[in-house]
Structure 1
């Protein structure tokens, strides 16, 4: 090794695989799941563009219950082009103050990207959630720069059926439903290693199990009444 290469190898922006995770200086926040915190190297990055790829409605928002509820200010949580209605009861279940929530419906993908970038730069928001299935590398880079510079998260939800393209991201997650919860594959994690098959057992999303149990009980009582009669 020559003296001319020493400044480069010692530069704080250079990360070497042999150093492992201990060099990661990314500020992270608790996810609410010990296994996921471990897989991520401490939790969700506090800023940057984060992509979550899944089928719609598998529990991808419920996964973020702790992350979305971490608002120690009166700043806004912004939903841009969500695929369904954001109900007040759901917000309360997620420990989110409805007064701090703004929902933006845009007529086009370009308008949604513009709205997301303005929210990131406004200093009025603490997290921005964007649903978009056709983002380009250039568009993603703008969101990554804005979210990093202004120190907040931009959560990009992308349908898993859309072909994956490489994007400038802080974190990239693949999410799929499994029995009793979700499986998380971390395909990119800045400052840490990717990991696969982290399983989280939980269910915040309402199901019809209570109805099924009530119907079964009704059927059993009906059968007993016939026997007794």
Structure 2
């Protein structure tokens, strides 16, 4: 007599957690720059996808965390509502190849509209937006645009204790603890959430920041 769980698996009613990296071609994934994160995300950042980074507060290493993928872009990147004006000499010191385009828009609806338009542009590299609130319908619309135009995009949002359903492909929480950045995977493509792990972003911080990290 078959075990009840085996019967459910046979019917296809149980998700078996297959390795996502085996289901995707290598050109669909972008190296995060962090080997441990690549492993946890099934190979890297997925192209044509919207990824959420939750931060407790700004300037805790989130830009250094994204620097490997930003510095690898051949096209200009767009930053929407960064918390401070981008300082090109400092970014160039961190090996960013070209100055980012940036847009400040205080109206949330206009900021989302600009984000959606940017996702449709083939002339842009990675798009990063700092947005305090994004509802489920807006995330779904942005994800559809990213998928349709094969854009790689990130939204930085405040830390959320209770996770409401959103259409992000990956959702990560960043927290600076014990003099290092801790990265928790709250949601990932075809996998369970994962506990925090230390990410060695110190090498991408400006020298003056490293002394206090």
Q: Which has the larger radius of gyration?
A: 1
- List gaps (5 residues or longer) in structure 2: 1-8
Match of 2:152 in 1: 153
Match of 1:17 in 2: 15
CA distances 1:4-38 after superposition (whole Å, capped 9, x unpaired): xxxxx9xxxx9963252155327222222211111
Match of 1:56 in 2: 58
Native 8 Å contact 1:180 1:202 kept in 2: no
Q: 1:162 to 1:193 in 2, by over 3 A?
A: closer
Compute the TM-score of the two structures, normalised by the length of structure 1. 0.77
- List gaps (5 residues or longer) in structure 1: 1-8, 212-229
Q: 1:91 to 1:15 in 2, by over 3 A?
A: farther
Moved over 4 A (4+): 161-164, 208-211
CA distances 1:80-135 after superposition (whole Å, capped 9, x unpaired): 01111101123213322335x21111131111100000010122212111111111
2: CA distance between counterparts of 1:157 and 1:209?
23
1: CA distance between counterparts of 2:154 and 2:38?
17
Match of 1:85 in 2: 85
How many corresponding residue pairs?
196
Match of 1:30 in 2: 31
Q: 1:202 to 1:103 in 2, by over 3 A?
A: closer
Compute the TM-score of the two structures, normalised by the length of structure 2. 0.82
Matches within 5 A, 1:72-221: 72=74, 75-99=75-99, 101-160=100-159, 164-203=163-202, 204-206=204-206, 207=208
2: CA distance between counterparts of 1:145 and 1:15?
27
1: CA distance between counterparts of 2:210 and 2:61?
16
Q: Which secondary structure does the structure 2 equivalent of 1:184 belong to?
A: strand
Please identify, of 153-162 and 168-177, the stretch whose mean Cα deviation from structure 2 is larger. Answer: 153-162
1: CA distance between counterparts of 2:210 and 2:41?
33
